[in-house]
Amino acid sequence: SPRSSSRPPMSAQEPPRPPPAAAEPPEPEPGGRYEAVVPHWFYCKVTDTRERWVPFSAQDSERLEEAHGAGKDQDDVVVPTSGGRYDVHLRTRQRVAVYWEEEVSEVRRCTWFYKGDKDNKFIPYSESFSEELEEAYMIAVTLDEWKKKLESPNREVIILHNPKLMVHYHPVASSDDWVSTPTEQGRPRTVKRGVENIAVEIPSGEPLQIDHLVFVVHGIGPACDIRFRSIVQCVNDFRNVSLSMLQAHFKKAQEQQQVGRVEFLPVNWHSSLHSTGVDVDLERITLPSINRLRHFINDTILDVFFYNSSTYCQTIVDTVASEMNRLHQLFLQRNPQFKGGVSIAGHSLGSLILFDLLTNQKADPEEDEHRAQGSRTTSSTGSIEEVKEILKKLELSEYCDVFEKEKMDRQALFLCTETNLKEMGIPLGPRMKILHYISSKTEMKVSPGHSEHGAQHGDSTEEGRNCQYRDVGLGQVSANYPQLNYKPTIFFAFGSPIGMFLTVRGVKRIDPNYSLPTCKGFFNIFHPFDPVAYRIEPMIVPELEFEPMLLPHHKGRKRMHLGMTQAAPVPRPGAAAAAPGPTPTPLLPCRTEGGADTHERGPEEQPAGPEEPPAAVKEETPLINVGRLNGGNRIDYVLQEKPIESFNEYLFALQGHLCYWESEDTVLLVLKEIYQTQGITLDQPLPGSQ
């Protein structure tokens, strides 16, 4: 039975009273004391013409009530809600999205509710009618006169039988004018006073402090998951999961107020692309048969082809960069106290767009110089050594001293003209050889529209590398890549085809010395059955066979079916050719949850002999550098599939590509890496990645 609604709730205007000792308050005596109802603010969410009233969080509702109580309804006061992502215009009672386009929602100060017909959810009465009900209730309580009858604006009857039983009667034939006044013969609905008496979960709200900002770029098509939801809805899920992961895994840091939350904002480029008029052009040439399938292809799959067209690629990169810059500027305006960093994340094609943008960012000149030197060696003498190696390859070792005397490093060599070489006293023959070498490398390494940065990283000293280390910008669509207004801390790629696109463009290998000009971190996260995802690490270390890092389960365990299969290694195709014999693959360095170095052990990385202790293996195995793309740390991270998914890989392939938005393991890795840059670690290091 419903709880008595005569419990005196705390008034919005009065100081709080101590709660009554009894669990259930007694029935009001004749002439009982009336307590004003505590209002709660709701907004109306419309999905597929279905209305749903959603409560604001307790803190947002209090803030709205405070503004309302101060009489600010008259001055169109704007109250930020939902972590600052929505503004409520108090006078017009509207909730407006701040960072993206969305239908305006109606806002209501709610005190009285009735149970709806369709889904048994409680619906708030209008504010004016709620005031009438409250007035009738106040009189009934004060005079102890019940059986009060009121008529709603729709000519429906509400009867207040007693504080526990208040009913809304739906008229049988209210549309006919000649029918008598609506009676209690219709279907009765329950009426409740005060939000505390209805079954609704009020959100707890979000921490006010924002530690880091992450922009999330979607992939192909307007829908981002298996339920055909938009990027805004999917990022909302990702944000909600992040809040629960912070509470579960960063409790100590939260208690010490080191941690607030991470804000995730969606970046939409699909609507801008398809508003160029290209859809109308496509419509003209689309065949009428299998209509739905063709429209689906035009709206989704074609985005990949659009990105590979220089015309539309320019539109896409301009939209993504300008939208991220706009959002960043707007966020800083609204959060002037924000001192945190900015990271970016991309799903599917969105990750490729971000990768291409990042490879074309220009670092600060002094930082660029520092990176260029650091990427080759720790000292300038190393750069000179590299020039010596090039001269040795060209059989011009006798001129090493001349280049050393002129302090000629690799970068300077590539800037040399024939006049410079002549001034150094290099004869015509060697001059021609050197110039030919420089021109062949430059042609191979710099593609149209690509930043000069990539040209500074290139082939190492091995003879066979001249056609292997091609710049990551090779084969990129010729476009003018815009610059971002900030330097991203980390780039997260979810279900990403970057590796495949680089390979198709002709980049067979990524130079281990290469790192993104303005972004130090790069994580490639994928589900094992994701048909769109490809690895990155084998492009940096192709001569070795090794598994991606297994993402630890957020509850700190390995899924049971994975633990059982771990003991039975399955050789990957080509593994025999890559690593003949029983010699174990050298282990790769990685960081554990606590940040210390450890090793990822894949199935084929077990010690060759059972009598050899694992410690000895660790000591003797040389560490392998997976390059500077993620600051020397591991790049590829694979999620653990669920037991049901392992029964049929094909059945769960599509779901595998769209699972990241609600994946606690993915969210936890993102949070762990972001907070690690601030020196904040998890409460308990998670096992499972060792």
Q: How far apart are CA 108 and CA 56, in angstroms?
A: 10
Closest CA to 77 of 85, 86, 67, 65: 67
- The Cα 176–Cα 186 span in angstroms is 15
Q: Could you say which of 5, 130, 348, 447 is catalytic?
A: 348
The whole-angstrom separation of Cα 391 and Cα 400 is 7
Residue 412 — left, alpha, or beta (φ > 0 → left; ψ -120 to 50 → alpha)? alpha
**In angstroms, rounded to a whole number, what is the distance separating the alpha carbons of residues 269 and 215?**
13
Q: How many whole angstroms separate alpha carbon 474 and alpha carbon 506?
A: 7
Which residues have CB under 8 Å from 320's CB, separation 6+?
217, 267, 269, 350, 353, 354, 357
- Single-letter code of the amino acid located at 605: E
Helices (H), 12-168: 58-69, 127-143
Instruction: For residue 646, indicate whether it is catalytic.
Output: no
Both tokens of 464, joined, read: 């066979």
Q: Hey, CA dihedral for 75, 76, 81, 84, is it positive or negative?
A: negative
Q: Rounded to a whole number, what is the largest CA-CA distance in the chain? A: 115
d(CA 470, CA 676): 32
CA atoms within 13 A on the CB side of 459: 22
Q: How buried is 577 (Cβ within 10 angstroms: 0-12 exposed, 13-18 middle, 19+ buried)?
A: exposed
Query: Which residues are annotated as catalytic?
Result: 348
